[in-house]
Structure 1
Amino acid sequence: MTPPREAAPDWYAARTLTRLLGLAFWRMRAYGTRNVPARGGVLVAATHQSFLDPPLVGSAIPRPSCFMARSDLFRFGPFGAVIRRLHAFPVRQGGADRGAIDGAIALLREGRCLIIFPEGGRTRDGRVAPIQQGFSLVARRAGVPIVPARVWGTFRAWPWFQPLPRPSRVAVAFAPPLDMSLDRAGLVEGLRAAWDDLGRLLGPEPRVRASRLARALQRRASVPDR
């Protein structure tokens, strides 16, 4: 499934709904949105704490965007319906999805804004996970800039072991585009440094009760990230 070339009315409706929910339930704030180019292809590389991240990051960007999402998320009733209307498209877990990668490159070459999560999955403990290098290959092949983004607070609002989200404070911050003259290792290092800088700007993450997290990690220690 490929997102349409132009934002349809249902995209604007889904974005408006997401922004209203973000303000009402999570007091969402967005910072540095001017760092996202207003036109042309751009890859937004964001940290990943929660299922809330894709719609919240997308709603913070002041232009139509699309994003990759795990294929099984499209089966989650209302949630799947919302992310479809926010121009999500599925990617298979458990190995390189060549079709999804080629589709992402094609979208960027068409001048689209694409959100990806280079950690490869949601955090298990609230900390930023190691970065997978594939994001740099996609951006280079498409010839587009990379804008780092950091999500704040969504691990407390909806951690992986909690069945439903709860009200909390969340935020999204965007850094200036990375220097695309860097090699692959340099882009990974630059992305990590930008995430760290944004983390200092946003401040300490809201805490998840340590005992709940410890019990959940113990229960799921042998289960791959969902």
Structure 2
Amino acid sequence: MTRISSFMAGQGRGSRAFYVVARTLIVVFTRLWTRARVEGRHHIPATGAFVLAPVHRSNMDTPISACVTRRRLRFMGKDSLWKHPASAWLLSSLGGFPVTRGTADREALKRCTLVLEGGEPLVLFPEGERKSGPVVQPLFDGAAYVALRAGVPIVPVGIGGSERVMPKGARFIRPRTVRVIVGPPITAAVPAGGRVPRAMVHDVTAHLHAALQELFDAAQAQLGRPNPSSLDQSPAK
């Protein structure tokens, strides 16, 4: 735990400078390659922590998410990537923090909560792994739980077109147009006592799911590739 905790911040002067340069290069490449246009940036909090919760259709969704704000976004990675000092420094400087694969989910949630309580934004894909198709799949409760636990908002993000840029299984990044729409923050007040009611977690997750589908549909529509009505779709099991 000590080794893992030592990479939670990555706030040294060198790390901060590297992040600024790396983020600039990543965002410039992403914008040029995907012609990404972002709407709704005013919904991103200027200060304080929040959970950025995008739809997940491509490995490009993480660099695309970096286009929505200049603030450093934190993200999880499997701890094996932190074995070597060079890769550990690189990933930590970019905002990553390690989570041990195979451990209880509560350990990962605890580390996410620590990041948020430290005042930093965190990227969580509430669908879990990459999905495919026009329907936002059933969400995990983790994003809602850590946001409620830390008392921070969830900012839903619809990303249209990223699946065509780099679909699951693709080795190369294709030059395709992407549209990103940031929705209003989702907030909820946890009752006094510190415990997060399970019903509240489920309610926030349901709200997030509806918001993501609406934003995803709107982003796809802007591309001229509208999603079929979600009413006509059956979510994959």
Specify every segment of 5 or more residues in structure 1 that has no aligned partner in the other structure, as ranges. Answer: 209-226
Match of 1:150 in 2: 158
Structure 1 residues 159-193: Cα deviation after superposition (integer angstroms, max 9, x where no partner): 11212211111122211111314811211111112
Whether the 8 Å CA contact 1:43–1:116 is kept in 2: the answer is yes
Whether the 8 Å CA contact 1:35–1:177 is kept in 2: the answer is yes
Determine whether 1:183 maps to 2:191: no
Tell me the C-alpha RMSD between the 2 structures.
3.0
For 1:150 and 1:23, the matched residues in 2 are separated by 16
Whether the 8 Å CA contact 2:55–2:125 is kept in 1: the answer is yes
Task: Tell me which of 10, 15, 20 is aligned to 1:4.
Answer: 10
Q: Which amino acid aligns with 1:67?
A: F
Matches within 5 A, 1:46-125: 46-70=54-78, 84-92=92-100, 96-125=104-133
Match of 2:215 in 1: 198
TM-aligned CA distance change 1:154 to 1:146, over 3 Å: same
Q: Which amino acid aligns with 2:159?
A: V
Determine whether 1:42 maps to 2:50: yes
Q: Which amino acid aligns with 1:88?
A: G
Percent of aligned pairs with the same amino acid: 30
Specify every segment of 5 or more residues in structure 2 that has no aligned partner in the other structure, as ranges. Answer: 1-6, 190-198, 226-237
TM-score (norm 2): 0.75
For 1:65 and 1:178, the matched residues in 2 are separated by 18
SS class of match (2:57)? coil
Larger radius of gyration: 2
Match of 1:129 in 2: 137
For 2:59 and 2:208, the matched residues in 1 are separated by 21
| Cα offset, 1:207, TM superposition | 10
Number of positions where the alignment pairs a residue of Structure 1 with one of Structure 2 = 205
Q: Which amino acid aligns with 2:40?
A: G
